[in-house]
Structure 1
Amino acid sequence: MDQGRTAILRAARKAFAREPYDAVTLRGIAADANVSAALIVKHFGGKEALFEKVADFSEATQLLLAAADDDLGRHAVVTLVNYRRENNQDLLLRVVFAAGSGDERALIREHFRDQVTRAFAARLTGTDADLRAELITAQLVGLGAAMAVNKTGPAATAAPEAIADFYAPSIQALVY
């Protein structure tokens, strides 16, 4: 992903999380991203399409679920860590910023439930799949938050495989 597009998405995520949809402007996002409003239109087509991109978790879901069930926990952890480091953003963490009130924030949370949590639940077999899926996604969001809060701390700097050695077993235990 190019730097301009990444900066736009980061600024849009922040804007839509903090302000009501009607208060968010392409000019404001452009200023925060240090790009022109025309570049936003070029990449996304407008405010509505940009919001839909911010609220869309389908790419995250595809990346996180791209493993066999036997390796799903480890794969999800390594994928989350590597994505953050390669793209300087988290796959899931934006849902935390949608915790407030407002229709647009509710839509982001709804997309997260539909696209991430329910996708994990659909992969799980056995009892309490919905609960286990919610706990899996909560752990992944928590890992993303830990890396975001302390950008130079152990969770943010350790090798992805080392993080997975500690973190993935608890997620994997929920897969079965």
Structure 2
Amino acid sequence: MTRRSDETKAAILAAARSQFAANGFRGTTIRAIAADAAIDPAMVMRYFGNKDGLFAAAVDTDLLLPDLVGVARSKLGETLVAHFIDRWEGDPGEVMLTLLRSAVSDDAAADRMRTIFATQLLPTVASAVDDPTTAPHRAGLIATQMLGLALSRHLLRLPPVAEASRDELVRQIGPTVQRYLRHPL
């Protein structure tokens, strides 16, 4: 029985996500992904072109950032922190953690992270600030908090951060993100 094209592609992506999560970009091979997906390595290349293309597809994620236009100005920081925690700990969380883990040591992963920053976080921040020319700097500061939180909570598993409840983290980190959004730089 042969697999349909969409089933094969889904199996390759599932195997790739697993391999990239376990071994990072550099430690993952097309052969290992193909073996996990129970297909010939040539099929991986057929669908994704090369390892970079496969990685980009495997970590393609939409942060689904909230529309901040309707959020009370005093709640913007808390809203973003809560949203990021929910995303890191929800369904696409492993994809995002794989991307974070790989971005530290691989240029392709770091480039993907920069693309997500530029196309998703930056426009959201620009919509919430009075002076859009400050949005890149503000978004960069917010990224330091959200990426640092994810690194500390999920990858390093620092006990105080890993053991804190979602609500505690929102209450404690929200004011910092609020300052980045609303206070003078």
* TM-score for both structures, normalised by structure 1: 0.67
Give the residue type in structure 1 aligned to 2:170. Answer: A
Who is 2:26 aligned against? 18
Is the CA contact (8 Å cut-off) linking 1:30 and 1:37 kept in structure 2? yes
Is the CA contact (8 Å cut-off) linking 1:73 and 1:169 kept in structure 2? yes
> 1:162: how far off?
1.5
Q: 1:47 to 1:26 in 2, by over 3 A?
A: farther
> 1:143: how far off?
0.6
Give the residue type in structure 2 aligned to 1:89. Answer: E
> 1:14: how far off?
5.9
> 1:141: how far off?
0.5
SS at match of 1:89: helix
1:93-124 CA distance string (max 9 Å, x none):
7246324464x245324413322342234323
| CA distance in 1 between partners of 2:155 and 2:110 (Å) | 24
Structure 2: where are the runs of 5+ without partners?
A: 1-9
After superposition, residues 151-166 of structure 1 pair within 5 angstroms as 151=157, 153-166=159-172
Is the CA contact (8 Å cut-off) linking 2:17 and 2:95 kept in structure 1? no
Matched, 1:94 2:95: no
Q: 1:27 to 1:141 in 2, by over 3 A?
A: same
SS at match of 2:76: helix
Who is 1:46 aligned against? 48
Who is 2:127 aligned against? 123
Is the CA contact (8 Å cut-off) linking 2:81 and 2:173 kept in structure 1? yes
Is the CA contact (8 Å cut-off) linking 1:73 and 1:172 kept in structure 2? yes
* TM-score for both structures, normalised by structure 2: 0.64
Structure 1: where are the runs of 5+ without partners?
A: none
Kindly, what percent of the aligned residue pairs are identical? 20
RMSD: 3.8
Q: Which moved more, 1:111-120 or 1:8-17?
A: 8-17
After superposition, residues 47-66 of structure 1 pair within 5 angstroms as 48=50, 49-57=53-61, 59-60=62-63, 62=64, 64-66=65-67
Q: 1:129 to 1:65 in 2, by over 3 A?
A: same
SS at match of 1:144: helix
Who is 2:152 aligned against? 146
> 1:170: how far off?
0.8
Is the CA contact (8 Å cut-off) linking 1:12 and 1:50 kept in structure 2? no
Who is 1:81 aligned against? 85
Is the CA contact (8 Å cut-off) linking 1:146 and 1:156 kept in structure 2? yes
| CA distance in 1 between partners of 2:66 and 2:140 (Å) | 14
| CA distance in 2 between partners of 1:7 and 1:76 (Å) | 31
Q: 1:115 to 1:25 in 2, by over 3 A?
A: same
1:12-50 CA distance string (max 9 Å, x none):
35656436xxxx53322356xxx3254x979xx436553
